[in-house]
Structure 1
Amino acid sequence: SSDRLDGLHRHPRLAADLASTADRDALVARAAAMAPLGGLVVGASRFERTPPGDEADVRPALALDLEAPLELALRLAPHMVSGARIVLFGDAGTALGWPSYPAYLAAKGGIEAAASSLAHRLGPEIVVLAVAPGAVEGAPPPPQGAIRHRTALGRMATPEEVARAILRFAALPPTVSHGRILVVDGGRRLFPPGSFVDPGSGGS
């Protein structure tokens, strides 16, 4: 969470409803007033199912999880110093294809593509990278026990471990991190795709 990130390393934190275009405009204005900026971490996300019958309305997930981070990165990049970092958030679940979350996973897959595109567009002056966490201890979607059994380490990452991974990854030399996606899932992707647990199904 952003609180844990702040606890590890202090940076200004700006809160806004990123699903709102007006709030995004206000956030950009506030951030630009703080220029020159040393970086941007966009942590907003909403892990929501796409229930049967609601397939037509995928816009909320795309607006928050894809459109907002991409827009902020593009609009704030001109206010950043050379060597600044932009950190976007994907999701390790994009490789697992949970059927209950098509809109969410489409947005997160788009973030991974956006990180690659932005790395070409903004580099070498600005370093762009993405972090793709898997299931985290204490997070809502059950069944966590079943997920642990399908993780190579036999456990999920803690929020503190994910936060440390983000900070350390962002601090690496650009030759290591630029345009890369760091998956933090305890080896979950090592399991066959058909063995996934769909968090929205209540089982495997």
Structure 2
Amino acid sequence: MGCRREEVRKAKARLELGLATAVKENKKSFYKYTNGKRKTKGNVCPLIDAAGNVTTDDKEKAEVLSAFFTSAFNSQSSYLRGTLCPDLDIWADTQHVSPEIEVEAVRELLLHLDSHKSMGADGLHPRVLRELAGVIAEPLSAICQRSWLTGEVPEDWRLAGVTPIYKKGRKEDPGKHRPVSLTSAPGKVMEQILLGEITRLASMGS
């Protein structure tokens, strides 16, 4: 299955390259293909808000979904703000240790980004980051190091493009939609670094 998927991706890449190369001689095929890619599904149907009112305006529907997704996330979190999950208590005493984030480790993570994934709200496409890994690795490692030391995350890394996907049941019910988000690729690299360090420190404390 994996090999077939890769073959399909390569065939698609060859098709797109051919269309882009021959755009001057065959504009019709090029724009037909790109316009087809730009087509999106219909808007979300009217939704019922917490007060029982029907919302039809796109902005209002977005606010209804945002409120519901936020409440669902918060209700699933059983830890108070500022406290550690019990699984992380074992490395709490080692938090003063600031690991050095290696440039090579960041470069390796960049090289393994899926270039077929969409870009996040920051506008940085994984394919660009992957192809420029040799140039980006050093400044990105410095940003990650600074983020670790200060406990702050770049604002763009906290943004996400969220799309509601209808599941089943009453379409007017916000609870019948699930959020699918596109987040920052550099932010995902930072997450992998944190995961590695947390795992390492946890193994030291066990």
TM-score, normalised relative to structure 2: 0.22
Higher relative contact order (CA 8 A, sep 6+): 1
More helix by percentage: 2
More strand by percentage: 1
TM-score, normalised relative to structure 1: 0.22
